[in-house]
Amino acid sequence: MFLLALWQRLTDRRSRAATVARLREADDSGANRPIAQHPQVQPYVCIGCGSCVRACPEGGVLGLVDGVARLVQASHCVGHGLCEQACPVGAITVGLGHLAYAPDMPILDETLQTSVEGVYIAGELGGFALIRNAIGQGRRVVGAVAERGRARGDVSDVLIVGGGPAGLAASMGAVERDLSYVTIDQDDLGGTVRKYPRRKLVLTQPVELPLGERLTDSEYAKEDLVEFFEDVSQRHGIAVRPQVKLLGVTRDGDCLVAETSAGVVRTRSVVLALGRRGTPRRLGVPGEDAEKVLYRLIDAASFQDQRMLVVGGGDSAIEAAIALAEQPGNEVVLSYRKEAFFRLKKRNLERIERFVAAGRIRTLFSSAVERIEADHVVVHTAAGPEHLGNDFVFVFAGGEAPFPLLRKIGIRLHGDLEAA
């Protein structure tokens, strides 16, 4: 019995030392800072059982220190919520925490209404990633819209901006509640999901949609999820107007007048089911306007026997680089401005390390594109400029958040309160 207790004590010490080391590493890299919803632990309730640590599919988000769960790599959390479900004593809540009051977060009331009466936000724009959360908020805002009462005349009950999970759930909710609606998307049905690389796995959880529909699995291939969206839309007559962009919203009495790229929509309410990064961020270098420079990868299989440069170090860049490297004959170089990867999902980090070790992807850390030529790219590295033979450049440098549009509409952000 004594030897068992001693072994357990030594094991706990080694585990604590490893977790503390990961905490220090996360502090140094910035991975300890959450970027979206994340687990918040009540230390006086936590019993240190480690269920939350084992339940996390991303790995390393949580760790045990002195018998209490601690956030370690908070930036890796994408809000699955499995840690919250696994905790036997209810010590964990997954939410935005202090991020809900970040300067770039819109001010929302309990119904997700913005500071502009009748204008609501659902999904990623409000800080919540993950399909399950987006669908839940889409349903929730339509309930609030219905409580505002019906529109009259040629005015629709609600304009839904975005055809992704939140926008589709809101559209289905409008049909379920017999509301008149108009749904637009600057791309097409599926929103951001449709832009994912081919065969990308999309993590969700079983979730109920309006009209009796349900997502039953915990993960889907991108194509399967888009097919589900299309099938649901067809069966229930959900109409999404593609390639239509919202330009602004003004008020005319009890009516909101939405200016879009396809004309004016008069509506009683507006639901903004937008992503936080709608417009790709450009590099601002000579040659970037060339046709070979792309900002998303739709089908990696259409690129074979090509020399590729992928710019970026986030999950989207990693997934694109891997998808391209899996195609026959491709030479893939990954350029990243930082000295190492961080804030990557565990699965992506493990895969990119395998591809680099196998020589299938070459990485250039602490590098930046200087200019793009017809048959090569000049990349600045620590050793000086490097000329890479090149056929295509994929840029994954994030995107420009739609904050100018929000401010044009009159929606206040928490940063406005700080400036006041």
* DSSP string across 301-335: GG--S-EEEEE--SHHHHHHHHHHHTSTT-EEEEE
* Same-domain pairing of 193 and 247: yes
Would you state the pLDDT for residue 7? 45
Residues 229 and 266 in one domain: yes
User: For the chain, what is the mean pLDDT?
Assistant: 86
Residue-wise pLDDT for 206-215, tens only, equals 889 999 999 9
Q: Given pLDDT bands bounded at 50, 70 and 90, which one contains residue 67?
A: confident
**93-120 pLDDT per residue, tens:** 887 776 667 777 899 999 999 999 999 9
Angstrom CA distances, 251 to 67, 115, 255, stand at 55, 13, 6
Mapping DSSP to helix (H, G, I), strand (E, B) and coil, where does residue 273 land?
coil
Number of domains observed in the structure of the chain: 3
Whether residues 373 and 317 share a domain: the answer is yes
Give the mean model confidence (pLDDT) for residues 29-41.
72
Give the E-state strand segments of 188-320 in sequence order: 201-203, 207-208, 214-215, 219-221, 240-241, 246-252, 255-260, 263-272, 279-280, 293-294, 307-311
The whole-angstrom separation of Cα 32 and Cα 42 is 18
Which stretch of 90-99, 162-171, 296-305, 354-363 has the lowest confidence by average pLDDT?
A: 90-99
37-67 burial code (b ≥16 CB/10 A, e <16): bbbbbeeeebeebebbbebbebebbbbbbee
Residues 140 and 53 in one domain: no
Residue 378 lies in a domain: yes
State how far the Cα of 20 lies from the Cα of 275, in Å rounded to an integer: 35
Asked if 251 contacts 101 with a C-beta cutoff of 8 angstroms, the reply is no
Q: Is 102 a domain residue?
A: no
* Rounded distance between C-alpha atoms, residue 124 and residue 132, angstroms: 11
pLDDT, tens digit, 9 for 90 and up, residues 306-316: 999 999 999 88
Evaluate whether 64 touches 48 at the Cβ level (below 8 Å): yes
CB of 99 within 8 A of CB of 105? yes
In this structure, the answer to whether residues 90 and 9 fall within a common structural domain is yes
My answer on whether 313 and 223 are in the same domain is: no
CB contact at 8 A, 179 and 271: no
What pLDDT, on a 0 to 100 scale, did the predictor assign at position 159? Answer: 98
Residue 383 has pLDDT above 80, yes or no: yes
H or E segment to which residue 407 belongs:
helix 403-409
Task: Give yes or no: residues 214 and 269 share one domain.
Answer: yes
Q: Read off the CATH number of the domain in which 9 is found.
A: 3.30.70.20
76 and 165, same structural domain? no
> Is residue 408 predicted with pLDDT exceeding 50?
yes
Which two structure tokens, joined as six digits, stand for 340? 């190492």
Q: Which of 155, 154, 153, 158 is nearest to 178 (CA)?
A: 158
Q: Is the pLDDT of residue 124 over 70?
A: yes
Rounded to a whole number of angstroms, the distance between the first and last alpha carbons of the chain is: 65
Could you give the CA distance from residue 388 to residue 332 in angstroms, rounded to a whole number? 11
Q: Report the share of the chain in percent with pLDDT over 70.
A: 87
Q: What is the pLDDT of residue 201?
A: 67
Residues 284-299, mean pLDDT to the nearest whole number = 88
Model confidence at 420: pLDDT above 60: no
pLDDT tier for residue 347 given thresholds of 50, 70 and 90: confident
Q: Which residue has the higher pLDDT, 145 or 344?
A: 145
**193 and 161 share one domain:** yes
The mean pLDDT value for 296-314 works out to: 89
Tell me which residue of 245, 166, 161 sits closest to 210, measured CA to CA.
Answer: 166
Quick one: which of 265, 275, 264 has its CA closest to 158?
A: 265
Q: Is residue 264 part of a domain?
A: yes
Q: Among candidates 252, 296, 271, 297, which has minimal Cα distance to 185?
A: 271
Residue reference for tokens 């004593």: 89
274 in the same domain as 293: no
Is residue 213 situated within a structural domain? yes
Contact (CB, 8 A) for 53 and 69: yes
Q: Which CATH number covers residue 328?
A: 3.50.50.60
The residue to which tokens 């993590």 are assigned? 203
- In a domain? residue 137: yes
Q: Does any domain span residue 105?
A: no
Q: Could you write out the three-class secondary structure of 155-189?
A: CEEEEEECCCHHHHHHHHHHHHCCCCEEEECCCCC
Tell me which residue range forms the domain holding 66.
2-95
Q: Same structural domain for residues 274 and 414?
A: yes
- Which residue type sits at 247? L
Q: Do residues 133 and 267 both lie within one domain?
A: yes
What whole-number distance in Å separates Cα of residue 29 and Cα of residue 290? Answer: 34
Q: Is the pTM of this model over 0.85?
A: no
Q: Buried b / exposed e across 147-171, counting CB within 10 Å, b at 16+?
A: ebeebeeebbbbbbbbbbbbbbbbb
pLDDT at 4 over 50: no
pLDDT at 267 (0 to 100): 97
